[in-house]
């Protein structure tokens, strides 16, 4: 029986740039418990027992055209307490986003490597 999602993993081609996005823009804190692995990366705690993992690896999808709207692409959906506030924050940082086409309070943006993220009002 599935109990939940433990983590979502994204490939990063530039870990410093990705960390600026996930830590600087989204405010996530790195998890120091990430073990030494054969590739660099970072883990972020999102909620109790839920994480986002970044892996510094070559992107197997490099050069692939992604849909403009992240909801039409593979993505992870994250609950947030203020979608409108996040939208204003993204706008001020120059990060493009699209609103959910479902009519619910949600938006989609992409990280620096083109990974789609959905933010849903809790």
Tell me the whole-structure pTM to 2 decimals. 0.92
Q: What's the CATH number where 74 sits? A: 3.10.180.10
What is the pLDDT at residue 26? Answer: 97
2: in domain: no
11-30 residue pLDDT tens = 999 999 999 999 999 999 99
77: in domain: yes
What is the spatial distance between Cα 20 and Cα 14, in angstroms, rounded to a whole number?
10
99: in domain: yes
pLDDT band for 93, please (50, 70, 90 cuts): very high
pLDDT band for 63, please (50, 70, 90 cuts): confident
Domain limits for position 53: 7-59+67-121
SS3 53: strand
72: in domain: yes
pLDDT band for 59, please (50, 70, 90 cuts): confident
What is the spatial distance between Cα 102 and Cα 118, in angstroms, rounded to a whole number?
12
What is the pLDDT at residue 62? Answer: 84
- Measured CA to CA in angstroms, residue 52 lies from 45, 49, 68, 92, 105 at distances of 7, 11, 23, 24, 22
- Calculate the CA dihedral of residues 77, 83, 87, 89 and round it to 10 degrees: -100
Domain count, the chain: 1
44: in domain: yes
1: in domain: no
């Amino acid at each position: 029986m599935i109990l939940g999602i433990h983590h979502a993993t994204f490939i990063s081609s530039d870990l410093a740039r990705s960390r600026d996005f996930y830590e600087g823009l989204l405010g996530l804190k790195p998890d120091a418990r990430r073990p030494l692995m054969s590739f660099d990366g970072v883990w972020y705690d999102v909620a109790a027992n839920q994480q986002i993992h970044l892996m510094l690896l070559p992107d197997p999808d490099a050069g692939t055209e992604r849909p403009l709207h992240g909801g039409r692409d593979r993505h992870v959906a994250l609950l947030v307490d203020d979608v409108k506030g996040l939208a204003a924050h993204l706008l001020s940082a120059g990060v493009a986003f699209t609103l959910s086409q479902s009519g619910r309070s949600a938006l989609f943006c992409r990280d620096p490597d083109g990974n789609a993220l959905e933010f849903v009002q809790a």
